[in-house]
Amino acid sequence: MTVSITEVEAGAGPASPATDTKGQGGNGTGRSAGRGRGRRAGSAGRQMHGGWLTYTILIIFTVGSLIPLVWQIIAASHSSGRLAQTPPPLWFGDRLFDNLGSAWTDANLGLALLNTTFVAGTITFSTVLFATLAGFSFAKLRFRAKNLLFLLVIGTMMVPPQLTVVPLFMAVSEVGWTDHLQAVILPMMVSAFGVFFMRQYLSQALPTELIEAARVDGAHSLRVVWHVVFPVARPAMAVLGMLTFVAAWNEFFWPIIALTQRNPTVQVALTNLGRGYVPDQGVIMAGALLGTLPLLIAFVLFGKQIVGGIMHGAIKG
C-alpha cells in the first residue's frame, strides 16, 4: 500500500511542473488578453488625431469655402466704379458702412429680415413636426395602403415646382392672400423630403420593442410620441431643421411671385437693388451680405449643438 502511494506520488511528480507550466501559460495568456483589451478600451477613449495631410486638405477646403464670403465683403466695401476696373480690388475698401446703409434703406431690409425670420422659423417648426409624425407613422405604424401612400409622397418629389406655380397662384388669389406671408408659409409647411428623411431614420433608430413597452405601461399615442419618438428622433430633427431653415431663408422662386416690395422677404427685397440703368454692384453685395449674416450667426450659435446631435445619432449603444 505504501509502495503504491509512493509510485503514484512519483508518477505525479513530473506531471506537476507541466501542469503548473500550463497554468502559468494560461494565466499569462489571460493577462495578455486582459492587457490587449485594456489597450483597446483606452484607445477607444482617446481622441484621434489626423496627420499633416489631413490638416492640409482641411485647410485647403476651408480657405476655398471662405473665398466667396471674403470676396463678398471686399466687393461690398468698394464703389461700383472701382469694381469695374481691371484688375478688381483684392483688399477691403472704405465704403462698407456707406453701402450697408444704402442697401438697408433702398431695399427696406429691416422689414424683409423680420418677415424672412418669421417665415423661415414657422416653416422649419411645422416641417420638423409634421415630418416627424408622418415619418413615425410610415416607419412603425400599421394601416391600410401604407406603402401606396408613401410612394405617393415620394412621387411628389419628382414633380418640378414650376408646374405647380400657376394653380397655386390661382388658389392664393382666390382666397385673397396675395402679398401676404401666409401665401409663402402654407405651401411649404411640410416637405416630401422631410417625411422620407424621418421615415428612414426612425425605421432604424427606433426599436419597435420600445414602443410596445410604452404601450404595455399604458401610454397613449401622444405620450408615446412625446416621450419615446421625439427623444429618439432629436438628432435627425436637428439636421432636418437646419436644412429646412436654410432652404426657406434662401427661397426665391415662389416668394417673388406671391409677394411684392411692400411686404417682401430678403430674397425679394434684394431684387430691388438690381433695378435701374446702372445698378450699384457694391450696394448689391452689401445687401447680399446683410441677407447672409443671420445664417452665419445661426451656424455660429447652434453649429455645435447640430453637429453634436448628428454624432449622437451616429453612436449605437
Task: For residue 114, give the C-alpha cell.
Answer: 423680420
Is residue 5's pLDDT more than 60? Answer: no
CB contact at 8 A, 84 and 233 = no
Type of residue numbered 291: G
Measuring CA to CA, which residue among 293, 280, 248 is closest to residue 107?
280
* Gap between the Cα atoms of 7 and 1, Å rounded: 10
Top pLDDT among 83 and 28 is at: 83
The predicted model gives 274-301 an average pLDDT of: 83
Output the pLDDT for position 22. Answer: 44
Q: What is the reported pTM?
A: 0.76
* Gap between the Cα atoms of 291 and 246, Å rounded: 12
CB contact at 8 A, 206 and 232 = yes
pLDDT confidence tier of residue 37, bands split at 50, 70 and 90:
low
Task: For residue 280, give the C-alpha cell.
Answer: 450699384
Output the pLDDT for position 47. Answer: 59
* Gap between the Cα atoms of 188 and 252, Å rounded: 13
CB contact at 8 A, 271 and 225 = no
Residues 92-116 have pLDDT tens digits of: 888 889 888 888 988 888 899 999 9
Output the pLDDT for position 148. Answer: 92
CB contact at 8 A, 76 and 285 = yes
For residue 125, CA distances in Å to 24, 39, 284 come to 65, 46, 31
* Gap between the Cα atoms of 134 and 221, Å rounded: 13
3-state secondary structure of 169: helix
Q: Which residue has the cell 449674416?
A: 293
pLDDT confidence tier of residue 7, bands split at 50, 70 and 90:
very low
Task: For residue 215, give the C-alpha cell.
Answer: 404601450
Output the pLDDT for position 222. Answer: 86
CB contact at 8 A, 295 and 224 = no
* Gap between the Cα atoms of 306 and 302, Å rounded: 6
